[in-house]
Amino acid sequence: MTTTFTEFDQRQLRNVLGTFLTGVTVVTTRDPSGKAFGVTANSFSSVSLDPPLVLWSQSLSSSSYPAFRDSDRFTINILADDQIAISNHFAKSQDDKFSSIAHSNGLGDIPLLVGAAAHLECTKVAAYPGGDHVVFLGRVEGIGESCKRPLAFGSGKYMVAYSHDLGPLALHLGTSTPTQMASVRRVIQELPQLAEEMGGHTLCLAVWGNHGPTAIYWEPSSQPVSQQLRLGLVMPVTQSATGRAFAAFLPDEMTKNLISEELRQYREEGEDAATQRERFEHELDVIRSRGFAQAARSQPSPLHLQTVNAFSVPIFSDGQMILALSVTSPAGRLSADCDGHLPNALTNAAKRLMSLVRQTKQI
């Protein structure tokens, strides 16, 4: 039953407004001196396609308000569902918000956040008073999209957006015939034992979903890498071991668009696009020759909040990669050595699982 209030306080109004689910953005700019500013906002909205106009609003009490007031440009960075930490980071006041955040510079030298679901680069065309906020109207001059699933927010909580008709299953299982689903269940049954056989490291089973490498099952093991083992997690295709395995062993037409966009996002200033792509293709050749992918971080993982190493192997059925099996563990427990015991054990585990998949198909 809906309760109607003709008199209400700010808390009640905030609660009602919170029932409207939104995306999450970080709006970036530079002040006239060239200093970069960014602020988390869910007040973004589209206005017009012709001309292309968008708006967002900012509190007049925000410490970065003078920078946005005095700047002629701003960029809307629409966060991906794995960027909760980025959202929280830019929601706090601090002097330099960009020193620890991967970003590049776009039109007008305005920061673009690496890994975002999308971005819109805008020229500010108007600012309108709106009570304790100001509404900024911008004309869109440049856009970008990574095909990542966007982060959502409602009722004071972060959320994940799924298609209404199929729900998370559509993202978790890129293949859904009864035989294929039976194969996935059979593989999952083996993972607890495999995790302990390989030294108590965390295992992840992933498929290639609508938005790239997608985790469908985690086996934490007796020594889990962290408590952040999220089903439906979409991993970077060029930066994660799981993504690199799919990039190396899936047909090029399935991965090329996502790879191209991700490489663009991670391209360093002044780096040649062709040289960057050639280097990545060489890395994929090495993965194919080894039979497994590797990712070693020098900085703490945004997901696991510590430095981790990871390896990933493909699982094939009828000559096509259907799953990726990955192992992730703190760098202090798992060596990044590609000639070590773990990569060999993981490769043997994949062979064992592929044998089970073949047996399942024959039943």
Last residue of a domain, one of 131, 160, 189: 160
Q: How confident is the model at residue 362 (pLDDT cuts 50, 70, 90)?
A: low
Is 307 contained in some domain? Answer: yes
Mean pLDDT across the chain, nearest whole number?
85
What is the domain count for the chain?
2
Residue with more model confidence, 224 or 50: 50
Q: How distant is the alpha carbon of residue 343 from its chain centre?
A: 25
Picking from 182, 179, 178, 237, the residue whose alpha carbon sits closest to that of residue 208 is 237
User: pLDDT digit string (tens) for 60-77?
Assistant: 999 999 999 999 999 999
Half-sphere exposure of 76 (CA within 13 A, CB side): 30
Please name the residue ranges forming H helices in 141-272.
169-172, 178-197, 241-249, 252-266
Helix H or strand E segment including 276: helix 273-290
CATH number at residue 292: 3.30.450.40
3-state secondary structure of 305: coil
Is 2 contained in some domain? Answer: no
Cβ atoms < 10 Å from Cβ of 286? 13
pTM: 0.52
Q: Which of 164-173, 267-276, 281-290 reaches the highest mean pLDDT? A: 281-290
Please report the beta strands in the chain, taking only residues with DSSP state E, as ranges in sequence order: 22-23, 25-30, 36-41, 45-48, 53-59, 73-78, 103-105, 111-113, 118-130, 133-145, 151-154, 157-160, 202-209, 212-219, 293-296, 308-317, 320-330
Q: In angstroms, rounded to a whole number, what is the distance separating the alpha carbons of residues 115 and 102?
A: 8
Do 267 and 334 share a domain, yes or no? yes
Do 195 and 255 share a domain, yes or no? yes
Helix H or strand E segment including 24: none
Residue corresponding to tokens 């918000």: 97
Do 224 and 254 share a domain, yes or no? yes
Burial class of 109 by CB neighbour count within 10 A (0 to 12, 13 to 18, 19+): exposed
pLDDT reading at 324 higher than 70: yes
Buried b (16+ CB within 10 A) or exposed e, 93-102: eeeebbeebe
Q: In angstroms, rounded to a whole number, what is the distance separating the alpha carbons of residues 234 and 221?
A: 21
Using an 8 Å Cβ cutoff, are 36 and 111 in contact? yes
What does the pLDDT average to over 184-210? Answer: 85
DSSP sequence for 330-349? ETTTS---TTSHHHHHHHHH
User: pLDDT digit string (tens) for 220-275?
Assistant: 877 777 777 778 888 889 989 999 999 999 988 888 888 888 888 888 877 888 88
What does the pLDDT average to over 169-188? Answer: 60
Residue 77: strand pairing partners: 26, 119
CATH number at residue 103: 2.30.110.10
Last residue of a domain, one of 160, 186, 216: 160
pLDDT reading at 128 higher than 90: yes
Q: In angstroms, rounded to a whole number, what is the distance separating the alpha carbons of residues 169 and 84?
A: 22
Residue type, 48: S
The vertex-323 CA angle with 290 and 327, nearest 5°, equals: 60
Residue 125 confidence (pLDDT): 97
Show the domain range for 181.
169-362
Do 145 and 191 share a domain, yes or no? no
Burial class of 174 by CB neighbour count within 10 A (0 to 12, 13 to 18, 19+): middle
Is 90 contained in some domain? Answer: yes
Residue 121: strand pairing partners: 75, 142
